[in-house]
Structure 1
Amino acid sequence: MKALQGIEGRVEWSEHPTPACGQGQVRIRVAAAGLNRADLLQRAGLYPPPAGVTQVLGLECAGVISEVGGDGPWRVGDRVCALLAGGGIAEEVVVDARHVLPVPQGLSLVEAAVLLEVYTTAWLNLYQLGGLKPREKVLLHAGASGVGSAAIQLCRAFDNPCWVSVGSAQRLAYCESLGAQGGVLRGEGLEALRDFAPFDVILDPVGAKYAALNLQLLRQDGRLVVIGLMGGRKAELDLALLLGKRIQLIGSTLRTRDDDFKAQLLAQMREKLWPLFADGRLSPRLEFSFPIGDVEAAFATLESNTVAGKVALLIDPGL
C-alpha cells in the first residue's frame, strides 16, 4: 500500500508494508484523511509518534471497512471514521475496532475524515478535564483553528458562552458565525479580553506566551487547560494567583492516551455528540480538500495559519 511519511522536513507518498488485521481490529480502505498541526510537527521531526506506533502520518481518517478481525459490531462495507495515533494518511489502515465510529447521518466520507481529532480534543478538554457546567464562560485561544471551530460549536450546543482570540477580523467573524460571543485580534494585543473576563475555563494551544495573562483572566476555581506550545514552553507565573484563585492548571495530550481511555472517550462521543451532527447542530467545518498528489500544497495551506476550520487529503474519492 502507499502511505505518507515525513522525512527530514518533507513528505513522501510511497510504498509501505500492508499491516495485518488482528483480533479486535478492523481494516479500513481510506477515502480521505484529516490533516492536523501534529502532522506538521511530525514532518519537521518535532513530534515523534508514541513508542510502537507507525511513522506514517495521520491522526484521523474515514473510509470503508474491508476486513474485520474477530467478532464485533462492524461488518465489511460499513462507512466509518477512525481516531488514530498515526497511520491515517494511507491507502489502508488497521485500527482498534473500538476507535471507530459510524459516519454521522448526512455527512460524506470526506467530511467525516476531519471530525474525530478535533471533536475528541475539544470534548475531552472542555467537558471532561475542564469540567464545564452549563452557563460557565469559556475562552478559546486560536478560536478559528480546527479544535477551536469544534469547541465553539460544542459551547453553543451545551450552553456555554465563549470568546476567542484569533489572527484577523475575518477569522473573528467566522468564529462569531459559529456561535462565539466575541473576541480579540492577537495582533492588537490580548488585554481587551479583560472586558469579557472572568472565565471559568480557558483552552490554550499557545502555552508560555499566554500563560501569565490566562491566570489573570480566570475566575475563582477556574481551569486552565493547555493543549499546545505554539507560543513556547517556558513561562514565569505568579503562583499566588494560582493559589489565591484555586486555579487548576491542566496539561493534556490525546495521542498518547491508552486504548481503553480512547475507547471510552469515543463511546461517550457517539452517545452525546453524534445525534448533534445528524440534526445539524454540529458540523465538520471542512474548508479545503486536496488530492493526495497535492500534499505539499495541503501542508503549506495548513502551515500558513490562515485556515478557518479543517483540511482534508483525498486518497480514494471514489469510495
Structure 2
Amino acid sequence: MVAGRPDPEPGPGEVAVSVTAAPITPLDLLCASGASYFGVPSTPYVPGVQGVGVLTRPTPTHLAGTPVWFATTAGMRPGDGSMADRAVVAPEDLVVLPPGADHTLVAALGLSAVAAWMCLTATGRLAPGETVLVLGAGGVVGQAALQLARVAGAGHVVACARSDAALERALRLGADRVVRLEEGDDAGSLARRLGEAAGPVDLVIDPVCGIPAAAALRTLRQGGRLVNLGSAAGDEFAVPSAVLRSRSLRVLGYTNNELTADERGEALLTVVAHAMAGHLTVRYERAPLADAADAWTRPGRIVLVP
C-alpha cells in the first residue's frame, strides 16, 4: 500500500537521505512475505533494503546534496527502508558515489552486482583465462556475473537461462555460448548440453540451485568451484560423492550478510566504476514511487523513482 507518512527525523548517529531510486529486490519480497529466516517483520514498515539518494543535510564529513548509495535492515529488523521520499540511515551504511553515476542504474545493480563480483573474486577465486558458467543468467545477479566475469579476466563465459530473451541478452552482454534450460531437464541431460557448450568448467556462479546446479557440478574440471548464492530453481541439489571426491571439487556458499560495511562499500564502488566505464549494465524498469503497489509484483528488476 502506498500512503503518506511524515518525513522521518534522523536520530542520534543517523543521517537523512532524499531518495532518488529504490529497487524492488527478491530480498524485499521475501522479507515482506514473512517467510525469510529473519521472521515476520514488525509492521507497519517501509520496505527497501537498499537505495540511492542525496544527503538532505550536511554531515561532519559531507555536504548536503552528496550522492550516496545506502543499505537498510528493513524487513530484517524493526525500522523503515528505502521505498519512500525520505530515509534515515546509519553513516556506516552509506557509500558516497562518484559524480556522474546513474542513480537508477546503480540502484538496479546494487547488492545483486556486489554479490556477483564477490562470488567471482573473493569466494570463487577466478583466475585469468578460466572458464565460467553462469546459471540463472536472466536475473540481475546472472546478468552482472557474466559481464563481471569478463572484466575479472575469464577466458570463456557460458550462460544458462530459461527464456530465449534471456539467452539473447546474455549474448549481447558478452557470453561466448548460451544453453537453454528446458522443461523436463534432468541433471544428466542438462550436464551434457552444458559440457558441449562450455567444455570443462573452472567456476560455476549459481543463483538458482536445484537441477541446474546438479548439472553444472558435473561439468567442473579437477579442483573446480561452484558458488551458490540463491535457490530460484529449488532448495536442494544432489552432490554425488564420487564426482565431488574424484575431482577435489569445492561447493561454496555466499551471502552479502557476511560482508563488513567496508567490504560492501569497496565492492559497490568497484561495480559502479565498471558501470560508468560502460562494462556493466542490467535490464531494469523504472516505476513511479506512487505505483509501488502495482510494481511490487512485476517480473524483473523494478526501480522506484520519485
Within the candidate set 108, 112, 135, 2:102 is matched to 108
Does residue 118 of structure 1 match 2:112?
yes
Structure 2 CA distance for partners of 1:246 and 1:268, relative to 1, 3 Å = same
Q: Secondary structure at the match of 1:28?
A: strand
Contact 1:176 1:182 in 2 (8 A): yes
Secondary structure in structure 2 of the residue aligned to 1:313? strand
Which of structure 1's runs of 4+ aligned residues deviate more than 6 A?
Answer: 50-54
Q: 1:146 to 1:299 in 2, by over 3 A?
A: same
Change over 3 Å in CA distance of 1:211–1:173 after alignment to 2: closer
Please state how far the C-alpha of 1:291 moved relative to its aligned partner: 0.9
Q: Which residue matches 2:8? A: 18
| Whole-Å separation in 1 of the counterparts to 2:141 and 2:104 | 17
Aligned residue number for residue 42 of structure 1: 31
> Quick one: distance in 1 between partners of 2:15 and 2:109?
19
- Residue 50 of structure 1 and its aligned partner are, at CA, apart by 8.1
Cα RMSD, aligned residues only? 2.7
Match of 1:66 in 2: 56
Q: What are structure 1's unaligned runs of at least 5 residues?
A: 1-10
- Contact persistence 1:30–1:93 (CA under 8 A): yes
Offset of residue 39 of structure 1: 1.8
Change in CA separation of 1:217 and 1:172 when aligned onto 2, cut-off 3 Å: same
User: Equivalent of 2:278, from 277, 280, 288?
Assistant: 280
Deviations 1:139-170 (A, max 9, x none): 11111211111112212222212111112222
Task: Note the alpha carbon deviations across 1:21-52, whole angstroms, 9 max, x for none.
Answer: 433x4321111101111222223222254899
Amino acid at match of 2:211: K
Q: TM-score, normalised to structure 2's length?
A: 0.84
Change (3 A) 1:49 1:56: farther
After superposition, the C-alpha distances for 1:230-286 in whole angstroms (9 at most, x for unaligned) are 2222333212222221211111221x336xx1322322442x444333322223x24
Alpha-carbon distance in 1 for matches of 2:30, 2:17? 25
1:133 maps to 2:127: yes
2:246 and 2:203 map into 1 onto residues whose CA distance is: 16
Deviation at 1:126, TM superposition (A): 1.2
Runs of 5+ in structure 2 lacking a partner?
75-80
Residue type matched to 1:267 in 2?
Answer: E
- The match for 1:173 among 153, 168, 174 is 168
Q: Indicate conservation of the 8 Å contact 1:83/1:116, yes or no.
A: no
Tell me by how many angstroms 1:210 deviates: 2.8
Aligned length: 291
Residues 112 and 221 (structure 1 numbering): CA distance in 2 closer, same or farther, change over 3 Å?
Answer: same
**Which amino acid in 1 is paired with 2:182?**
G
- Structure with the largest fraction of strand: 1
Residues 234, 89 of structure 1: alpha-carbon distance in 2 compared, 3 angstrom cutoff? same
Structure 2 equivalent of residue 76 of structure 1: 64
Give identity over the alignment, percent: 26
Asked whether the equivalents of residues 134 and 158 of structure 1 are also in contact (C-alpha less than 8 Å), the reply is yes
Q: TM-score, normalised by structure 1?
A: 0.81
Q: Does 1:56 align with 2:56?
A: no
